[in-house]
Structure 1
Amino acid sequence: MTRYASANVVMQIVGFGLLAGTLATAREGSLTLWVVYGACCAGWFAFHFLVTARPRRAGVALLLSALLPAVAAGWAQDSTAVILVSVLLGRFAAWHRPRAAALWPVLCGCLLLTLLTSAAGGAGPGDLAGYAVMMLLLTLLGLNQRQYRLRADQAERLLHQTTLMQQEQAQVAVLGERARIAREIHDVLAHSLGALTVQLKAADALLEGGDLDGARARVRRSGRLADDGLAEAAAAVAALRDEVIPLPDMLAALVADFGRDHRTDVRLTTTGTARPLPSGPVVVLVRVTREALTNAAKHAPGGAVTVGLDYGADRVRLEVRNDIPRAAAFVTAGPPVSGYGLTGMRERLALVGGTLHTGPDASRRTWRLVVEVTA
């Protein structure tokens, strides 16, 4: 808009200069024609004065200021009237408000009227050809300016619409992310508090029966559940704040804590080129890993566990493998992931473009949990 405003000012100055120069060099002796020229200039100034506040009246003023010299061109002693018509037609053609249905009749009408009155006044073919070329040239210049303005307006509208769309998309993304984080925190609290309730009730029952060792084990289990819940809640809050630790570091800390707490041989391997991931996939992958490790400790205590993280070109693959106890080697479907369940995990993975597959391998001695996330 700034570039167009500058071009518009330049065009007005050039047009005024042409009018002033034409009138200053006119060799007209008829008072009537000078009155026509004065009315023409008055219409020019009225157009620029009214074009913003009263565009319809401004258009009428400009049209009349072009028709007057067009009618009087046949009685003029020189080409002053034709030059005035040319300048005014160029200005009218550059105006972006008239529609094409109204623009072309005005331009063609003024052009034909000027040539007809000039021919009636005795102008020769050469003069008529020169008049036509001059009027067409200034009209084409005005049309070029008009097209530039229309394209600029269209580009500005498209930019405005694009900005609004981007703002709406960003708002929808923010709301979706907040809803996802709220759901994650809700699930963490529900799972942790539910598990704590069960353990504490069991500890209370054991205390009533005099089983101090069993009660103490339940209390310790409650402490571990509370720590896990706090860790998951902290991860969800970090995701809300975009403060997620890199996935390999989070998995390394999780594996180290699991190996220390359960005295289990657990290894983490990372392949591919690590890269930053959005908070959603990171939180889900960490949760799935924690659930898989908990499941391994529950159903295959003491068995070796391997966690593999692979960064592909357009996806991230997580695989958790643990030994199946011999007594359970005949199973065809593994135990459910503790707490949230496989269905809940698949739903959360689907929200971040991921898939979950579980089951024993071909030897039926190792349980595999495989997660793939597009990222």
Structure 2
Amino acid sequence: MSDLAPGPPDSVPVPVSPRMAAALAEAAERRTRRTRRLRPVLWLILAAVAVQSLVADPAPGWQGTHLAVTLLLIGCLLPLAAVASGRWHVASPGACVLFCLLVGGFGIALGAVQPSSVAVLPPSVAVLTAFLVLRRGPALAVGAVVVGALIAAEAAGADGGAEYVVSQVLFCAVLALMAVSMRQAGASEERASLLLAQLEDAREAEAEAVALAERTRIAQELHDVLAQTLSGLAVQVQAARRMARRDEAGQDLQDLLDRAGKQVKEGLGDARRAVGALRGRSVPSLDRLPELVERYRVDLEIDVTLTVTGTRRPLPPETGLALYRGAQEALTNAARYARGARTAVTLSYGDGRTVLTVEDRRTAGAPPEPPPFEGSGLGLKGIRERLAAVGGTASAGPVDDGWSVRMEVPA
């Protein structure tokens, strides 16, 4: 038996989020718990009917009326035992109607052949089950059939008298009202749970909308400031390149200006991607790490290599972005502070974690080249903050003849 407890509301909202799915699963679990609490009641009713039938007259036997009592008793008790043991599930309308008709019909017939003080229990179980499981209309129909059979049994001359039959009918009516109340209470509890989940979803959606609006505003500011500034710089660099060619400047200067122009163009692309990320568009991932390394090798002329170990696997977008930006910052620092050193980028996919390291090592005894300008010191702090936001860690420090940045995420 899967449901003798109050059923679900007639109209259940379709799950639209994990929170709603969890609320529906919790509601189903509550119905299952109520079902388990009702099963012992069925066993008690079954035992009471069996004991009373064994001591009543005529008792069960194998001949004549005694055989009829035996067959009717088996027909009444078998469905009760099947449902009470959980072997027969009567949550569907068809199974519920069949159970009610079997228990009610055999119970009323048993009471007519063998009058006893517990003869009302089987038909009352049928009425209770109908109003717990079925919708209001079918439940009324099944209840009317059971009550009609009780009255017909009295009209056919069953012992007990009219007052006894009236008491049986009233007992069934009380159980029907109790079942309706239990069903409505269960439905109200489930609706409250689902409405609470919907409210939390709505609040979360509202917060996301506010955050998106703020990110859009920031993106617009970045676009107006950063992108326009880089566009102006690109124009200036292009003009400087034309002047260098016109004045026949040295090839080294022309190459430097060409690389500067290319970097400005790529910076514009990065700025546009950053603005797109703030607007909720796709963001850079580790799939673009080889492209990033190659760009630093060619444009900034640093000796950098990339090594990937382990089996590649997809990472959450925010995790991949954090590692990508960390590698970008570490390579920028290598180009700034470790020119002439060998830089190794290693991406390792391990069991339950992904590690990205950027190490630069100078030739033993070679003095480091002075950086073209001093940094703010916020780059490493930004790496740590990005990694912490996705549950990872970042560390940086000196190693033999160089510097190492290590980033690790659980993925």
With the length of structure 1 as denominator, give the TM-score of the two structures.
0.56
Secondary structure of the residue aligned to 1:95 is: helix
Shift of 1:335: 6.1
Write the letter of the residue equivalent to 2:330.
A
Return the match for 1:13 from 141, 153, 163.
141
Shift of 1:292: 2.0
1:135-150 alignment to 2 at 5 Å?
A: 146=182, 150=185
Deviations 1:6-59 (A, max 9, x none): 35444311221233344455559xxxxxxxxxxxxxxxxxxxxxxxxxxxxxxx
Give the aligned length.
272
Residue 263 of structure 2 is matched in structure 1 by: 224
Residue 162 of structure 1 is matched in structure 2 by: 197
Shift of 1:252: 0.7
Write the letter of the residue equivalent to 1:95.
V
Residue 91 of structure 1 is matched in structure 2 by: 176
Write the letter of the residue equivalent to 1:327.
P
Deviations 1:131-172 (A, max 9, x none): xxxxxxxxxxxxxxx3x6644543454344335435544664
Residues 359, 372 of structure 1: CA spacing in aligned structure 2 closer, same or farther, 3 A cutoff? same
Shift of 1:306: 0.7
Q: Is the CA contact 1:200–1:218 (under 8 Å) kept in the aligned structure 2?
A: no
Distance 2:327 2:376 in 1: 10
Q: Which moved more, 1:171-180 or 1:298-307?
A: 171-180
Residues 166, 276 of structure 1: CA spacing in aligned structure 2 closer, same or farther, 3 A cutoff? farther
Q: Is the CA contact 1:232–1:287 (under 8 Å) kept in the aligned structure 2?
A: no
Distance 1:94 1:291 in 2: 67
Residues 358, 194 of structure 1: CA spacing in aligned structure 2 closer, same or farther, 3 A cutoff? farther
Write the letter of the residue equivalent to 1:356.
A
Residues 316, 167 of structure 1: CA spacing in aligned structure 2 closer, same or farther, 3 A cutoff? farther
Distance 2:409 2:204 in 1: 23
- Once superposed, what is the RMSD of the aligned Cα atoms? 4.5
Q: Is the CA contact 1:185–1:233 (under 8 Å) kept in the aligned structure 2?
A: no
Residues 319, 229 of structure 1: CA spacing in aligned structure 2 closer, same or farther, 3 A cutoff? farther
Distance 1:182 1:276 in 2: 31
Write the letter of the residue equivalent to 2:172.
V
In the alignment, is residue 327 of structure 1 matched against residue 367 of structure 2? yes
Residues 234, 324 of structure 1: CA spacing in aligned structure 2 closer, same or farther, 3 A cutoff? same
Larger radius of gyration: 1
1:168-179 alignment to 2 at 5 Å?
A: 168-169=203-204, 172=207
Distance 2:206 2:144 in 1: 50
Shift of 1:360: 1.5
Distance 1:260 1:275 in 2: 28
Shift of 1:302: 3.5
Residue 312 of structure 1 is matched in structure 2 by: 350
Q: Which has the higher helix share?
A: 1
Write the letter of the residue equivalent to 1:161.
L
Q: Is the CA contact 1:259–1:265 (under 8 Å) kept in the aligned structure 2?
A: yes
**Which ranges in structure 1 are unaligned for 5 or more consecutive residues?**
29-73, 97-145
Shift of 1:253: 1.0
Residue 64 of structure 2 is matched in structure 1 by: none
Write the letter of the residue equivalent to 1:305.
T
Shift of 1:263: 3.6
Q: Is the CA contact 1:267–1:306 (under 8 Å) kept in the aligned structure 2?
A: yes
Residue 317 of structure 2 is matched in structure 1 by: 279
Secondary structure of the residue aligned to 2:315 is: coil
Write the letter of the residue equivalent to 2:350.
G
Q: Is the CA contact 2:339–2:368 (under 8 Å) kept in the aligned structure 1?
A: no
Structure scoring higher RCO (CA < 8 A, sep ≥ 6) equals 2
Deviations 1:341-365 (A, max 9, x none): 333333333323333322221x2x1
Shift of 1:276: 1.3
Residues 205, 13 of structure 1: CA spacing in aligned structure 2 closer, same or farther, 3 A cutoff? closer
Residues 261, 198 of structure 1: CA spacing in aligned structure 2 closer, same or farther, 3 A cutoff? closer
Residues 252, 352 of structure 1: CA spacing in aligned structure 2 closer, same or farther, 3 A cutoff? same
Deviations 1:173-208 (A, max 9, x none): 67657866876886688666667778988999998x
**Which ranges in structure 2 are unaligned for 5 or more consecutive residues?**
1-8, 11-91, 93-131
Q: Is the CA contact 1:320–1:368 (under 8 Å) kept in the aligned structure 2?
A: yes
In the alignment, is residue 252 of structure 1 matched against residue 290 of structure 2? yes
In the alignment, is residue 233 of structure 1 matched against residue 272 of structure 2? yes
Q: Is the CA contact 2:330–2:405 (under 8 Å) kept in the aligned structure 1?
A: yes
Q: Is the CA contact 1:262–1:302 (under 8 Å) kept in the aligned structure 2?
A: no
Distance 1:191 1:322 in 2: 30
Q: Which moved more, 1:7-16 or 1:288-297?
A: 7-16
Deviations 1:268-318 (A, max 9, x none): 111233221222222232222222222222233343211111223333221
In the alignment, is residue 372 of structure 1 matched against residue 408 of structure 2? yes
